[in-house]
Structure 1
Amino acid sequence: MKAIVIERFGEPTVFQTADLPVPEVLPHHILVRVAATSINPVDVKIRAGAVADIAPAFPAVLHGDVAGVITAIGDGVDNFKVGDEVYACAGGVKGTGGALADYMLVDANLVAHKPQSLTMVEAAALPLVSITAWEGLIDRAQVQSGQKVLVYGGTGGVGHIGVQLAKWAGATVYALVSSDEKAAIARKLGADVAINYRQTPVEEFVAEYTDGQGFDVVFDTVGDDNLQNAFKAAKLNGTVISLVSLSQQDLTLLHAKGLTLHLVYMLLPMLFGVNRSRHGEILSKIARLVDEAHVRPLLDAKSFTFTDIAAAHAHAESGAAIGKIALKAV
């Protein structure tokens, strides 16, 4: 099969085309003919060597998100059949193959039937970000109707799904964005209020929208210094969820306000082989929400194919993308 691989870490130009054997179908796995994938920050970090400890062995086939059609079924798989259209985040990390190839071998526990109302490209944009948002807001924070939820990066990959899930759960949703254009998009996705953080400091929007009390749940999809602002924005005994906590933090506010902090790392089931069926279950729930018009993917205006992989990664690193960057197989 044709595959796009890296033989070393580096800039987007390290991608190259290679001929690799089609993966042998293993028990409890399915073979998927890849139709599309999407870029997540972890894919960029792996390519660049920033997280070399979780990278696949060279020649490495990257990208975890996939949408495609099942072409073969392994022993022990009884909930899928050949010809099914599926989607998953199921590889591109240590010990697995990725989606930048004609075929991808995936653990059936990580897979769900694709939302019927989406194209393959649209579906491929959802898995990692949807699982992450669900684990943070639904599984960990257990967002309830009537709560005030603040979502950082309201038009980003995880953030735009977070806005929609929190709204579906019955919360009043406040999306932090960096421009008027993104504010309009966030409101279309369901945010009750879009706040331009470049114009309004955290103290001001906490005072304006919560009477100075703070938000019930703060969903930090950005990390680093923003985590301190998340602590400031949360109410007493509130909940903060962070996806990017690879930094030293002062926990004084966490203690002083009695906050609960949840850290979400959705790659753990793939990296350690634990609780993989939970990801398949979440994706099945997401597919239903999509087909019921509660959730939809936000795709960046620029479209790419697998042959444009270097340009797609460069665009991802530029910071100019809004929503997810998806790529169609050729």
Structure 2
Amino acid sequence: MHAWLCENPTGVDALTWKELPTPQPKSGEVLVEVKAASLNFPDLLIVQNKYQIKPPLPFVPGSEYAGIVRTVGEGVKHLQVGQHVACLSGTGGFATHTIAPAALCMPLPAGFPFVDAAAFIMIYATSHHALVDRAQLKAGETVLVLGAAGGVGTSAIQIAKAVGARVIAAASTDEKCALCKSIGADATINYSTENLREAIKALTDGKGPDVIYDPVGGDFAEPAFRSIAWRGRYLVVGFASGPIPSLPLNLTLLKGASIVGVFWGGFAKQEPKASAAALAELAQWYAQGKIKPVIDRTMPMQELKAAYAHMGSRGVKGKLVMVN
């Protein structure tokens, strides 16, 4: 097998494409032949030693991937050799083969392409947990999605529409706003050229959004939160812009609003049955055509460093997927 090995987490340049012995699965594990692996923001942080999870060295990055089960470890009952699976295990995906915990493998229904499957769990599970579980979003409510043209942003638009909500998508270019409209957003805000608070006010008749989905953080968090509706829910999904914002807590009092943390990894560990039920609903929505990952492009696995550079340029719309 071959894999991108991180022996020193100083950044993307330290990754090397190496030939390694193909491992054998232990109890509760499976060997997966990787067909596709998506590139997510945590995959950049983890090779820079900036992510909250710091795997022992050396490790193979690639948190999310899809492929074919080639060997099954002892005690694994729900997966068979030859089965198609998607997995979000945190590491191991940027390779030709990887060992995956069987419990974290999602069996793929027939006709679910590997590229879509590799771009599925992280963004849709996060957005489903955020909007359906944590925000208790209801039909007819209004959702503001920040960073709406990215991976989680595009999934949030689709899930909010599947629930029956109105979606305002905020992104940094007219091209990204057009993409958001094409996948169901009811209105868009280009926050490079428009004043965010004024645009929100105009689009909600002064009421503000019931739910704000924020995977960006940084400078937009406070103006967005100041615009939230009475009893609004502000979803803290991530900090793609870098800085972690500080919000004046008196605003929660004045707005009767909630600041709600969204950490799908913790949810999946603490509440595995609820997480599995959410994934099953998402697979059903995919089969019904309600949700479909937006794929920016696919690239050969060996061009991973170029893919990281493209992601770093903030030019990605949807998901980047590496293929073997």
Using structure 1 for the length normalisation, give the TM-score.
Answer: 0.90
* Per-residue deviation, residues 103-129 of structure 1 (Å, max 9, x unmatched): 222222222123544421222112211
Match of residue 95 from structure 1: none
Amino acid across the alignment from 1:11: G
What is the CA-CA distance between 1:162 and the residue it aligns to?
0.2
Aligned counterpart in structure 1 of residue 287 of structure 2, from 291, 309, 327: 291
Contact 1:111 1:283 in 2 (8 A): no
Match of 1:211 in 2: 205
The amino acid of 2:315's aligned partner reads A
- Kindly tell me: are residues 71 and 284 of structure 1, through their superposed partners in 2, closer, same or farther at Cα, counting changes over 3 Å? farther
Cα displacement string for residues 219-254 of structure 1 (whole angstroms, at most 9, x for unaligned residues): 111112322123122101111101126443322212
Pair 1:227 & 2:227 matched:
no
The 1:305–1:278 alpha-carbon spacing in structure 2 relative to 1, beyond 3 Å, is farther
Report if aligned partners of 1:254, 1:260 keep a CA contact under 8 Å in 2: yes
Between 77-86 and 311-320, report the one with greater CA deviation. Answer: 77-86
Instruction: State yes or no: 1:282 paired with 2:281.
Output: no
2:141 aligned with 1:139, yes or no? no
Quote how far apart the aligned CAs of 1:202 are.
Answer: 2.7
- 1:268 aligns to what? 266
Write out per-residue CA displacement over residues 158-203 of structure 1, whole angstroms, 9 at most, x where no aligned residue: 0000000000001011111222211221111111112212232233
Cα contact 1:176–1:196 (8 A) shared by 2: yes
Counterpart Cα distance in 1 of 2:267 and 2:71: 23
307, 321, 324: which is aligned to 1:326? 321
Please name the residue that 2:257 is paired with. 259
State the partner residue of 1:188.
182
Amino acid aligned to 2:185: A
Counterpart for residue 60 of structure 1? 59
Corresponding position: 1:126 with 2:123? no
Instruction: Quote the Cα distance in structure 1 between the aligned partners of 2:274 and 2:21.
Output: 30
Question: What is the CA distance between 1:300 and its match in structure 2?
Answer: 1.2
* Residue equivalent to 1:152: 146
Task: Please tell me the residue identity of whatever aligns with 1:207.
Answer: K
CA contact (8 A) 2:201 2:227 kept: no
The 10-residue stretch of structure 1 (77-86 or 318-327) with the greater mean CA deviation from structure 2: 77-86
Does the aligned pair in 2 maintain the 1:109–1:279 contact within 8 Å?
Answer: no
* Change over 3 Å in CA distance of 1:231–1:279 after alignment to 2: same
Give the secondary-structure state (helix, strand or coil) at the position aligned to 1:26.
coil
Gaps of 5+ in 1: 93-97
Distance 1:326 1:198 in 2: 27
Asked whether the 8 Å contact 1:152–1:159 carries over to 2, the reply is yes
Which whole-Å CA distance do the structure 1 matches of 2:216 and 2:170 have between them?
Answer: 11
Structure 1 residue 285: deviation in Å?
2.4
Q: Any conservation in 1 of the 2:197–2:224 contact (CA below 8 Å)?
A: no
1:74 corresponds in structure 2 to 73
Quote the offset at 1:269 in angstroms: 6.1
Go from structure 1 to structure 2 and tell me whether the alpha carbon gap of 1:244 and 1:106 turns closer, same or farther (over 3 Å shift).
Answer: same
What is the aligned-residue RMSD (CA, Å)?
2.0
Among residues 273, 296, 299, which one is paired with 1:300 in the alignment? Answer: 296
Contact 1:151 1:162 in 2 (8 A): yes
Question: What residue number does 2:194 align with?
Answer: 200
Distance (whole Å) between structure 1 residues aligned to residue 28 and residue 281 of structure 2:
21
307-316 or 99-108, which deviates more:
99-108
Letter in 2 for 1:287: A
Contact 2:24 2:71 (8 Å CA) reproduced: no
Q: Which amino acid aligns with 2:281?
A: K
Match of 1:313 in 2: 308
Supply the AA of the counterpart residue of 2:170: L
Higher relative contact order (CA 8 A, sep 6+): 1
TM-score by length of 2: 0.92
Give, in whole Å, the separation in 1 of the partners of 2:139 and 2:299: 39
Q: Output the CA distance in 1 between the equivalents of 2:308 and 2:276.
A: 27
Q: Distance in 2 between matches of 1:81 and 1:168?
A: 33
Does the aligned pair in 2 maintain the 1:304–1:326 contact within 8 Å?
yes
Q: Letter of the aligned partner of 1:129 in structure 2?
A: I
Aligned residues: 320
